[in-house]
A and B are shown apart, each in its own frame.
Chain A
């Protein structure tokens, strides 16, 4: 067993155990209906979390994803409902805008040498503010394409529905895994997160990779925005509030190290599913109030960070002993 895969394995085992425990209590949770809903309800979070995984592996953080999702939903709604554009064109414009936004943030991070935390914080304010300037109110989207897409699904054995947005999320995860482990860009991202100076000395194009990582994250947030607008059939400047935190939590729970240079896109998928499981369990239970979700997710986050600490202090380089002061 490859040592590097241990955290991923641990996350998977914990998810399966948690799911088993939930099924033992509520046998009806073991159905493709519930699993299908896991995918549909968390599609936007999953898509955004793939981008966040790349950013975190590269050693940065992106606080703007929730705001970019919110902005995208409003932009799509205004383009379709007010300007009368076809949804396909609206989607293309939204993706272009969000990609450009990410590229600008990446450029600011690299060329101004400002921590990504602050640049993406400014990006978050800008995107939320821009969305509420476009329209402070929620705009309902009515278009035949929207109705068609939200009604389309593949019937799974057992009555579950694999919706279009669920499939989009699965496709994004598959592409993300390929991008991370099978392309040159993926290796650059890992190298950059391991050590920026060594990466530059090895010939990694640091500027281009940094800009591309944030472009990727914002573009995926744009796709997540499209998915969110399909999910809710509306555009609202305050939608997806705090999704960046859920995405970061999913990435950490999935075994990615926040110091960068190490992580898995596949782990993030399990992180997202685990959050979906917590929410679904609370819905099934009925007596627990919704704020328990936050406490449980916080607790899970803590547990996984602790787990990573233990795994890495056991197998990590000796240098770590110095850093503990």
Chain B
């Protein structure tokens, strides 16, 4: 039974897509899968994909939970900038990293909590509630850094962005641990079920006795917390906080990763590991375009082509057409029009 579940999970289209992208990368660049051991860590294009994809993967973990509740979080990019700015300013003024990192994470948690309060207590649509912080957050981050790029040389903070553990880059380790912990938290407890219940029908969930307000507050705070981690990773990577550019447009990449992973924007069914796979697909495409020698301008065009392809494949119409072709006996699950 267990093995069957695993095989069917591995046969999902997302893994096929990732394999296809990696295969194309290998065709373009034969040394793509070569991994070497040097200075106590692994090196290679494959690790580069993992390493560069880690921030989006970390964001996507938090955003998945939000999207599963039929919400969306547009502010994660701005929250990244805020947490990076907080950490960088604190360590550059002499605060030890052991204090600066928890404070930066707390800042992200507060940002997420604020979004949660807007969504639950003021009953504002998630897309608008988080838009407020998306617009204002980057301004706040610039206020913290006073408009300049704050650089630092703190070894602990830069270890988060550039260090290695067991030969693997630290961002990859962080993203992996976060993915495992979150997956266990939502799948080994009732939490995942409660999130799905709220996402499918908030009123029904409330009548079933689920405290949806508390749950939504938790989910949005978690998304802010994940964004803060991603912000620390990015700040540690460049050893500085750039309030203008840190995490710019990454909220869109994170949402794209979640959608690629098969989580419906209409709420309900979600999968955290698949969102991470979605983030890796995006990064594998980015890396592929870079190493193939195409100009990076093609990146966005290819990305949009892939989104369009996935949208067509995921749409109910295409599903009906495909199931009529291949499995005429099982009617596809009907989704409501809106």
Contacts and interface: CB of A to CB of B under 8 A. Distances in A.
A289 B145 CA distance: 12
Interface in A282-304: 289, 291-295, 297-299, 301-302
A298 B135 contact: yes
Nearest to B313: A112
Contact of B308 (A122, A245, A252, A295): A122
Interface stretch (A125-133, A219-227, A228-236, A262-270): A125-133
Interface string B293-313: 001011111111101100110
Nearest to A125: B304
B338 to A, nearest CB: 5
A82 interface: no
A18 interface: no
Given A294-B138, A301-B132, A309-B124, A322 B307 contact: no
Given A291-B142, A323-B203, A115 B125 contact: no
B297 A302 contact: no
B295 A136 contact: yes
B136 interface: yes
B277 to A, nearest CB: 18
Contacts of B298: 129, 133
Contact of B335 (A113, A249, A292, A294): A113
Nearest to B213: A325
B128 A258 contact: yes
B144 to A, nearest CB: 10
A291 B317 CA distance: 45
A321 to B, nearest CB: 10
Given A132-B297, A133-B298, A299 B136 contact: yes
A59 to B, nearest CB: 8
A63 to B, nearest CB: 8
A301 B134 CA distance: 11
Contacts of A129: 297-304
Contacts of A35: none
Contacts of B233: none
A132 B300 contact: yes
A297 B265 contact: no
A111 B136 contact: no
Interface residues of B, number: 57
B109 to A, nearest CB: 19
A325 B139 contact: no
Contacts of B318: 112
A136 B297 contact: yes
Most buried by B among A118, A259, A293: A118
A115 B265 CA distance: 8
A325 B206 contact: yes
Interface string B105-129: 0000000000000100011110111
A117 B124 contact: no
Contacts of A322: 203
A140 to B, nearest CB: 20
Given A125-B303, A197-B337, A117 B135 contact: no
18 contacts: A113-B316, A113-B337, A114-B314, A117-B127, A123-B304, A124-B252, A129-B304, A132-B300, A197-B337, A197-B338, A294-B136, A297-B136, A298-B135, A302-B118, A309-B123, A309-B124, A325-B206, A325-B212
In order of increasing CB-CB distance, the 9 nearest A-B pairs are A298-B136, A129-B300, A294-B139, A325-B206, A129-B301, A126-B304, A291-B142, A125-B304, A295-B139
Interface of B: 72, 118, 122-125, 127-129, 131-140, 142-143, 147, 202-203, 205-206, 212-213, 243, 252, 255-256, 259, 265-266, 295, 297-305, 307-308, 311-312, 314-318, 335, 337-338
Interface of A: 59, 61, 108, 111-115, 117-119, 121-126, 128-130, 132-133, 136, 196-197, 237, 245, 248-249, 252, 258-259, 289, 291-295, 297-299, 301-302, 305-306, 309, 320, 322-325
